[in-house]
Amino acid sequence: MICEKAMNQSIIRQAVELNDPVLAKQALGEIAGLLDASPDREERVYLLFSKASCYGILGQFAEAREQLSLALREKNDSSSGVTYDFIEGMISQQEGNYDEALQRFTATLSAHAKELKQPEFSFIYKDIQQRRGFLLVAVSRFQDAIPVLQEALSFDVDEQTRSDAMASLGLCYLELHENKLAKDHFLQARAIGLTRQWEGKLNFYLGMAYFYEDMFREAKQEFQKCEELAALHQLPITDIYAWLSSISKRLGERSESERYARLARPS
Report yes or no: 246 and 220 within 8 Å, Cβ to Cβ: no
Split at pLDDT 50, 70, 90, the class of 7 is very low
Distance from C-alpha of 29 to C-alpha of 163, rounded to nearest angstrom: 34
Report yes or no: 134 and 163 within 8 Å, Cβ to Cβ: no
DSSP H or E stretch at residue 251 = none
pLDDT in tens, 44-99: 999 999 999 999 999 999 999 999 999 999 988 888 999 999 999 999 999 999 99
Mean pLDDT over each residue of the chain, to the nearest integer: 94
Distance from C-alpha of 97 to C-alpha of 33, rounded to nearest angstrom: 33
Distance from C-alpha of 186 to C-alpha of 180, rounded to nearest angstrom: 10
* pLDDT given for residue 266 in this prediction: 80
Query: For residue 125, with 0-12 CB atoms within 10 Å meaning exposed, 13-18 middle and 19 or more buried, which class applies?
Result: buried
Report yes or no: 48 and 70 within 8 Å, Cβ to Cβ: yes
Distance from C-alpha of 88 to C-alpha of 94, rounded to nearest angstrom: 10
pLDDT in tens, 114-160: 999 999 999 999 999 999 999 999 999 999 999 999 999 999 999 99
Q: What is the mean pLDDT of residues 193-213?
A: 97
Distance from C-alpha of 157 to C-alpha of 93, rounded to nearest angstrom: 20
